[in-house]
């Protein structure tokens, strides 16, 4: 997954949606740690549609 920076409001909601704990809010940015399984759970949490998957 990736986060489209221009569309992301840095609200941090997606952080709590990742079952692997890979998303981290660091100040005014969201860090994506290695190990993403592309489960798309974080997608459900994003109110702005900023989370993208390259298979779409």
38 belongs to the binding site for ligand SF4 (CB under 6 A): yes
Least Å distance, CB 49 to ligand SF4, is 8
CB closer to ligand SF4 out of 27 and 38: 38
In three-state secondary structure terms, 49 is coil
Binding mask 3-32 for ligand SF4 (x = CB under 6 A): x----xxxxxxx--xx-x-xx------x--
Q: In the block, which residue shows the tokens 């952080």?
A: 15
Q: What are residue 30's DSSP bridge partners?
A: 25
Q: Measured between alpha carbons, how far is 29 from 45 in angstroms, rounded to an integer?
A: 16
């Amino acid at each position: 997954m990736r986060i489209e920076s221009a569309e992301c409001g840095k609200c941090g909601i997606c952080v709590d949606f990742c079952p692997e704990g890979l998303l981290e809010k660091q100040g005014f940015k969201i860090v994506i740690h290695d190990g993403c399984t592309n489960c798309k759970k974080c997608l459900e949490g994003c109110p702005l549609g900023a989370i993208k998957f390259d298979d779409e």
